[in-house]
Chain A
Amino acid sequence: MEKITIHATERSPAIDFDFASNTYLIKGESYPEDVTEFFGPIMEKLDGHLRGQSGENISFVFELIYFNSSTAKVLMGLFDMLEEVADEGNEVAVTWCYEEDDDNMQELGEEFGEDLVQATFILKELPLE
């Protein structure tokens, strides 16, 4: 499957999904006008690819600065998907990055990571840019 590379805009995050190496990145701010339109096709492709994986090393990195409630719902669905993929025998590492003074993003990461049992959850502090 071809890579998905979408550049960040003022309202939507950068997407860098490399299916061949199973490395995925969502980075930036996320409050798209239409969450379904933005995330729908990406999530569909991701779901289609990950469901067929077995015994693979999968790395998912989140580097978000801000996201709205609709994006939060998408992220929760994505965490569920990753947990299921891990449950199916893949090594899944989810890295949640937050800037060093961003308590809000740190707490959100901690909450989102609560449900991951099979997948490995890593909370990573990044120095301020």
Chain B
Amino acid sequence: MSYEIFKKEQDALEQAKALVDAGEHGDGEAAKHFEALLNAYEKLFKTTRRLVRVSDRNEAELNKATKALDEKNLMLEGLSGKLGKYLSPQIYEAIFAGVSDADVRTERKKLTVFFSDIKNFTATTEEMEPEDMTFILNDYLTKMTEIALEHGGTIDKYIGDAIMVFFGDPDTKGVKEDAAAAVRMAIAMQRRMVDLRAKWSDMGFKLPFHIRCGINTGYCNVGNFGSEQRIDYTIIGGQVNLAARLESICEPDGVTLSHETYTHVRDAIDATPLDPIQVKGIRDPVTPYSVEGIFDDWNETERYIRRDDVPGLRIWVDLLRLSDDQRRDAVHELEEATKLSKNVLIKSLCSSSKDLAVCSFYLY
């Protein structure tokens, strides 16, 4: 027995028809009304069944279309994910969120620009098999990219073994914070390189890969450059060239800053000025700064003694940079400063207090 959703209505109809056929549906006017009502009910019943079928068919069609749309969306999602790898994640997200239009448009902004490359990469890899070179380069770029993204950098491009990153667009935390993020990123990259060299060495690659990093902060033109057919989201300007130049004069394993970047990060970064250099397009010589370390980094807690957050108190000691003799001198200076401070404090307390016990406590 098959299930019929309209069975109840069908049965009622059949019974009514049977009554009419048997002439048992009343007499006169009542019988006529009954027959008219039965005809109308039969028609309505037929209409209802058809409407339900139309509705079911439409629903099925809609589901089919939705499924096809879902599949299409999934395909487009996969495709956009693949295409997205050709873009910096911030740009990809900005475009897909509808915040940014992919049209030729640029603006002037103060950015911090970072360049890095592997010293003697071509010469070093000349003897390598192409597959090994590809593996090393991709491994290097992957790790460096992870660090850049962790620090909020926008990856502009890879140029062979060189990496160009900038901070300040499309997202910015302010010029000072952007500059600090760039420098912290560069230091993190250099630290990761130590691990990478050890890993590659363990794998049998005796590669003395060392990177150089240059960072500059200044006004650049940022945005989409190119044509309507093909655009690149990038930055241009003399300040970009300066960052590249700073990278080229940087010592291997080092990070070189421009004066402007240094002024933004000097509260957190220890850096030494280098000999001024002449840069094409910039009239006056530029003083580069070589990064020595980060004051507030846990890796450096045993290196720096630094207090300058209280007016009238300024202590700054870089224990690694001092020789043993210099350290002895530093200890002597600090002891002298301690004695002097103590004397001034005792005099001050004794002049304002009648309590001799307090004075004698400080005397010993």
- Please list the residues of chain A having a beta carbon within 8 angstroms of any beta carbon in chain B: 66-69, 72-73, 76, 104, 107-108, 111-112, 115
Contact = CB atoms under 8 A, between A and B. Distances in A.
Interface string B56-95: 0110010000000000000000000000000000000000
Given A67-B54, A68-B54, 12 more contacts: A66-B58, A68-B58, A69-B51, A69-B54, A69-B55, A69-B58, A72-B54, A76-B47, A104-B57, A104-B61, A107-B57, A112-B50
B32 interface: no
Nearest to A71: B54
B55 to A, nearest CB: 5
Contact of B57 (A76, A108, A115): A108
A111 B61 contact: no
A20 B53 CA distance: 36
B interface, how many residues as a size bin?
10 to 19
A76 B61 CA distance: 21
A68 B51 CA distance: 9
B48 to A, nearest CB: 10
A104 B54 CA distance: 9
B61 A72 contact: no
A73 B53 CA distance: 12
Interface string B17-57: 00000000000000000000000000000110011011101
Nearest to A73: B51
B57 A111 contact: no
Those 8 A-B pairs whose CB atoms lie nearest each other, nearest first: A72-B54, A69-B55, A69-B51, A104-B57, A69-B54, A76-B47, A72-B51, A111-B50
Contacts of B53: 111
Contacts, number: 25
Contacts of B55: 69
Contact of B50 (A66, A67, A76): A76
Nearest to B61: A104
Contacts of B51: 69, 72-73
Contact of A73 (B47, B57, B61): B47
Contacts of A115: 46
Nearest to A103: B57
A108 B51 CA distance: 10
Contacts of B50: 72, 76, 111-112
Nearest to A31: B58
B64 to A, nearest CB: 10
A104 B47 CA distance: 18
Contacts of B54: 67-69, 72, 108
A111 B56 CA distance: 14
Contacts of A72: 50-51, 54
A73 B57 CA distance: 15
A72 B55 CA distance: 9
25 contacts: A66-B58, A66-B61, A67-B54, A68-B54, A68-B58, A69-B51, A69-B54, A69-B55, A69-B58, A72-B50, A72-B51, A72-B54, A73-B47, A73-B51, A76-B47, A76-B50, A104-B57, A104-B61, A107-B57, A108-B54, A108-B57, A111-B50, A111-B53, A112-B50, A115-B46
